[in-house]
Structure 1
Amino acid sequence: MDRDAILAKVVDVVNDTLSLGSDVTLSADTNLKELGADSFDLLELVTALEDEFSMTFDDDAPAQISTIGEVVDAIAAAQ
């Protein structure tokens, strides 16, 4: 799967998990905490991403991931 396809799926998962409105535009540079995501939200997001991409992140992933681009990089590296 190429980076653009991963990014599109990650954006969908972030929108669904954080219950963002359609007026919010997400990109690789979007900071998850600036969207209002707390540590519980990040844990939920990691779980949703693991399900979506059939993979497992490291246990400390929620603390290490701050942008959507970093999520995409982690998923691309795991494939």
Structure 2
Amino acid sequence: MTREEVIAGLAEILEEVAGVDPADVSEEKSFTEELDVDSLSMVEVVVAAEEKFGVKIPDDEVQNLRTVGDAADFVLKNL
């Protein structure tokens, strides 16, 4: 799976869970500050990403996933 595919997948998840326009999703965007994903929605994003990509994201790692790029890095490293 390529980085672009992971980011596209995250964009789909963000649209479903938080109503974020996929066109607004890019690597440098912050989930909370720029994409307005609240903490409850972030939990849903994590669960959906675990299912979609087949990875486990430990609770203590979630706080390190500040941007879309951080999440893509984590997914690619743990595929």
What's the TM-score bracket when you normalise by the shorter of the two chains? 0.7 to 0.9
TM-score by length of 1: 0.86
Larger RCO (CA under 8 A, 6+ residues apart): 1
Gaps of 5+ in 1: none
Q: CA RMSD in A?
A: 1.5
What is the CA distance between 1:57 and its match in structure 2?
0.5
3-state SS, counterpart of residue 49 of structure 2: helix
Gaps of 5+ in 2: none
Say if 1:17 and 1:44, in contact at 8 Å, map to a contact too. Answer: yes
Say if 1:29 and 1:67, in contact at 8 Å, map to a contact too. Answer: yes
TM-score by length of 2: 0.86
3-state SS, counterpart of residue 20 of structure 1: coil
For this pair of structures, how many residues does the alignment match? 78
Structure 2 letter corresponding to 1:44: E
Runs of 4 or more consecutive aligned structure 1 residues displaced over 3 Å after TM superposition: none
What is the CA distance between 1:62 and its match in structure 2?
2.6
